Structure 1
Amino acid sequence: MPEDADKVRARIVERYGRLARAAHAQLQIVDCEPQRFNDGGFGAAAYGDTGELPEGAVRASLGCGNPVAVADLQPGETVLDLGSGGGIDVLLSARRVGPAGKAYGLDATPDMITLARANAAEAGVTNVEFLYGHIEDIPLPDAGVDVIISNCVINLSADKPRVLAEAFRVLKPGGRLGISDVIADDGLDPVHRADAEHHVGCTVGTLTETEYRALLAAAGFTTYTITRTQAATEGLYSAIIQATKPTAPPGTLIRPMSADDARQVLDIYQAGLDSGDASFETTVPTWGAFDRAKLPRHRHVAVEVSTGQVLGWVAVSAVSDRCVYAGVVEHSVYVHPDHGGRGIGGALLNALVQSTESAGIWIIQSGIFPENTASLRLHEKAGFRTVGTRQRIGRHHDRWRDVVFIERRSAIAGTE
């Protein structure tokens, strides 16, 4: 956490404690200038289905959208609201997931927790639980939540990367993130930006769309979209941010590759080269050379959850520094020889397809020896097509080798 995080937290808790007490006293509350609040579509104005909710929950709504409307909640799911306030989104979520599901609310303001619990009791909703804690340190175990929502709260954190990393941690593989937040235009004058943030109550600072995308990718999310919904003030917008954690075979996790994985990644790489049918290379590069060659947002590892062992990896390199080829990459995927047949290679390729499409990359390509029939089948299942065979393109272990050239064209990126 940044050095001033505790001070920021204390200031936020004190402010929202006052607002919670005002709501409990049946006063209408706003978290920024009243005109900005109304014009920006903040609070209960973003909802159309509050008729059966307690008046106190509606009165305490301070969000900038309706994340429940885009979270696609299903019966039986577990959902977590980061910064749940008076509980409006938790109560709406509880309706969607039904009695077989569970809705958690997490808030760092004791008065808000008290208010939310009172609102849940008044509504007679029993499949909810309100937790005291910070969104940078979620008090729930790994991989136990299907969906995370949040309504104009992440901008209040002094450590936004930690918030998104924690969200990734507690989501199940394939879990979804659906949040409302305020974002800023890229290149906005800092003085104007700070003034606009003050007007709409984002006193800890907003992220731009570019910054949000970078942080989501760094946390490990492989699909992410940001949709502006309404202008909050000049240069700032309410937005819906949606992201997905990559799916993985049972007992495994797909996450970003880090320098701590270097030894295991290179060992798996060398084992593939030793098979004789993975590459023209015979010896792996140093980690420094590997690190420099691979694009940072598109390197993923599959790990065993129980041990942390790396089971496989996937990464891409740019094919050219010419701008016309900015959306074309070449990839490699390797699985530990003791863990084939578990679906790890397919899951890694799916994660790669998702992360590259989210970044606007339109072609993933590679070359495979025709003798490597398992790799060819794997890529065919992942949507790759054979472009052609380059005959006798190079010598490997003193014999000429053909290479099957494959590619996958995105149906999303590069279509316009």
Structure 2
Amino acid sequence: MSTHDRQPPSRDQIVDRYGALARAASEGLQIIDCEPGSFADGCFGAAGYGDTTGLPDGAVRASLGCGDPTAVADLRPGDTVLDLGSGGGIDVLITARRVAPGGIAYGLDASADMLELARANAAEAEVANARFLHGHIEEIPLDDATIDVVISNCVINLSTDKPRVLAEAFRVLRPGGRLGVSDVIADSEDGALRAAAEERIGCTAGALTPDVYREILTHAGFIDIAITPIGRAGDRFRSAIVQAAKPAGATEPEGVTVRRMRATDADQVLAIYQAGLDTGDAGFETSAPAWQDFDDARLPEHRYVAADTTTGDILGWIAAVPVSGRCVYRGVVEHSVYVHPEIRNRGVGIALLRSFIASTEAAGIWTVQSSIFPENTASLRLHQRAGFRVVGTRERLGLHHDRWRDVILIERRTATNPLF
């Protein structure tokens, strides 16, 4: 098979591979996951840590990372931390000590052998606040908004569904939570060149370029994204620190989660749109558009839905369109927010607005505006609560259901633009 036809290892193959390495580490062997000469300068393995004093030899021997995420994740006493692909447990043990007292460090790994090794290392180190979970990083077995910090060390590059991994990390983080991972990144998007380099190195499976990594993080909902190379990792690869945050404004009411809108939400989003229009006070339109028209018109990076955490049903949505194609208006958008008419007093609207505002401010948008019928007093109160001001009333602007309607123009100017 040619290099061009090389397929990345399957999830089962990766689990089997690391299980074998865990067994070797348990037998006292120094394990190496990659071709040694490829990572002379990449801060791989135990070399990525400044100090391993007090850590069990088994944890150090089983270190297969490409840096030290615990050094950049801003760990604080009392934090609840999750390590994706925790392996022999070295990062969990370091983390557990730093978040004590009151904090918990979880390690998630798909290899039963690695989990057995990690638990033995935690017992030897007498670390009582470490917890190890069996599962896959694409399907994190934890509830929404339960984690303060997500870390990972050279594992995300191994997943064949990296967008799912990062979406899951966003899901389990609390509002304001942090992501700090070490990973392997690629210099080039050229598939053939990258596959050839991966085959020589032997331990990556479709590493992302910085631009693609950033795009996936942004799509998942993260802000404050920084990708910092820390060393050369063989031909066409580098080790890097990836940092990001979940917007602090994403405060969600009980039983509700706010997340990015997906194409699979289309039917429910349009049904809520139509239900709002049917009230007669949500907008000039009388029928919701087709999904393709909705999708084409609205900015993809600033769409959110509020979903019931028990049923998964969509309770409301928010999205925006640019007000103009002219460059001078690049930071001005017009938004719409719709909550199902049967959902009252659950905080869905304000949760959607907070997530949306955090997203637009992080993107450099300086003005968000909308128009509201004067009769829609609930919407006006909601927006004023979210920091919008009334600019004025446009009288008899349009004919709607055989009568001329006024609209109130509202706007919110960003607090982060130094010009304001």
Matched residue, 1:330? 334
Shift of 1:127: 1.9
> Tell me, what secondary structure is at the counterpart of 1:104?
strand
Conservation of the 8 A alpha-carbon contact between 2:373 and 2:405 = no
Shift of 1:202: 4.3
Determine the C-alpha separation between the residues in 1 that align with 2:255 and 2:16: 42
Conservation of the 8 A alpha-carbon contact between 1:75 and 1:98 = yes
2:283 maps to 1:282: no
The residue type paired with residue 334 of structure 1 is Y
Conservation of the 8 A alpha-carbon contact between 1:38 and 1:45 = no
> Tell me, what secondary structure is at the counterpart of 1:39?
coil
Alignment of 1:228-243 (within 5 A): 228-233=228-233, 235-237=236-238, 238-243=240-245
Matched residue, 2:207? 206
Evaluate the alpha carbon distance shift between residue 72 and residue 294 of structure 1 in structure 2; reply closer, same or farther with a 3 A threshold: same
Determine the C-alpha separation between the residues in 2 that align with 1:5 and 1:142: 33
Determine the C-alpha separation between the residues in 1 that align with 2:252 and 2:38: 43
Determine the C-alpha separation between the residues in 1 that align with 2:210 and 2:194: 14
Determine the C-alpha separation between the residues in 1 that align with 2:244 and 2:28: 34
The residue type paired with residue 195 of structure 2 is A
Conservation of the 8 A alpha-carbon contact between 1:225 and 1:358 = no
1:273 to 266, 271, 277: 277
> Tell me, what secondary structure is at the counterpart of 1:292?
helix
Deviation digits for residues 82-139 of structure 1 (CA, Å, limit 9, x no counterpart): 1111111111221133254332212233432232222111100122232333323334
2:298 to 285, 290, 294: 294
2:10 to 4, 8, 11: 8
Mean CA deviation greater in 391-400 or 48-57:
391-400
Evaluate the alpha carbon distance shift between residue 174 and residue 252 of structure 1 in structure 2; reply closer, same or farther with a 3 A threshold: farther
Conservation of the 8 A alpha-carbon contact between 1:222 and 1:358 = no
Deviation digits for residues 292-351 of structure 1 (CA, Å, limit 9, x no counterpart): 322233221112222333221101123334455444322101222333333221110111
Conservation of the 8 A alpha-carbon contact between 2:391 and 2:408 = no
Shift of 1:282: 3.3
Determine the C-alpha separation between the residues in 1 that align with 2:75 and 2:125: 20
Deviation digits for residues 266-293 of structure 1 (CA, Å, limit 9, x no counterpart): 3433343344443233333233332332
Matched residue, 1:226? 226
Matched residue, 1:81? 83
Determine the C-alpha separation between the residues in 1 that align with 2:68 and 2:386: 35
Conservation of the 8 A alpha-carbon contact between 1:106 and 1:134 = yes
2:46 to 44, 47, 55: 44
The residue type paired with residue 341 of structure 1 is N
Shift of 1:362: 4.3
2:354 maps to 1:350: yes
Conservation of the 8 A alpha-carbon contact between 1:29 and 1:60 = yes
Shift of 1:249: 0.8
The residue type paired with residue 227 of structure 2 is T
The residue type paired with residue 406 of structure 2 is R
2:262 maps to 1:258: yes
Matched residue, 1:149? 151
Conservation of the 8 A alpha-carbon contact between 1:300 and 1:348 = yes
Shift of 1:142: 5.1
Provide the TM-score with structure 2 as the length reference.
Answer: 0.83
Matched residue, 1:409? 414
Evaluate the alpha carbon distance shift between residue 243 and residue 184 of structure 1 in structure 2; reply closer, same or farther with a 3 A threshold: farther
Conservation of the 8 A alpha-carbon contact between 1:393 and 1:403 = no
Determine the C-alpha separation between the residues in 2 that align with 1:199 and 1:362: 47
Conservation of the 8 A alpha-carbon contact between 1:389 and 1:405 = no
Conservation of the 8 A alpha-carbon contact between 1:145 and 1:175 = yes
Shift of 1:149: 1.6
> Tell me, what secondary structure is at the counterpart of 1:193?
helix
Matched residue, 1:131? 133
> Tell me, what secondary structure is at the counterpart of 1:240?
strand
**Identity, % of aligned positions:** 61
Matched residue, 2:110? 108
Q: Which ranges of structure 1 fall in alignment gaps of 5 or more residues?
A: none
Evaluate the alpha carbon distance shift between residue 396 and residue 100 of structure 1 in structure 2; reply closer, same or farther with a 3 A threshold: same
Conservation of the 8 A alpha-carbon contact between 2:189 and 2:209 = no
Determine the C-alpha separation between the residues in 2 that align with 1:250 and 1:279: 29
Matched residue, 1:98? 100
Deviation digits for residues 11-67 of structure 1 (CA, Å, limit 9, x no counterpart): 433443454344445454443344543412223333335323223323322222222
Where do 4+ consecutive residues of structure 1 move more than 6 Å? none
Evaluate the alpha carbon distance shift between residue 115 and residue 259 of structure 1 in structure 2; reply closer, same or farther with a 3 A threshold: closer
Conservation of the 8 A alpha-carbon contact between 1:173 and 1:247 = yes
Determine the C-alpha separation between the residues in 1 that align with 2:392 and 2:186: 46
Determine the C-alpha separation between the residues in 2 that align with 1:135 and 1:322: 43
Shift of 1:240: 1.4
Conservation of the 8 A alpha-carbon contact between 2:184 and 2:204 = no
Shift of 1:204: 0.8
Matched residue, 1:248? 252
Q: How many residues align?
A: 409
> Tell me, what secondary structure is at the counterpart of 2:121?
helix
2:404 maps to 1:399: yes
Matched residue, 2:382? 378
Evaluate the alpha carbon distance shift between residue 12 and residue 308 of structure 1 in structure 2; reply closer, same or farther with a 3 A threshold: closer
Determine the C-alpha separation between the residues in 2 that align with 1:199 and 1:38: 14
> Tell me, what secondary structure is at the counterpart of 1:255?
strand
Alignment of 1:184-195 (within 5 A): 184-185=186-187, 187-195=188-196
Mean CA deviation greater in 36-45 or 340-349:
36-45
Evaluate the alpha carbon distance shift between residue 402 and residue 173 of structure 1 in structure 2; reply closer, same or farther with a 3 A threshold: closer
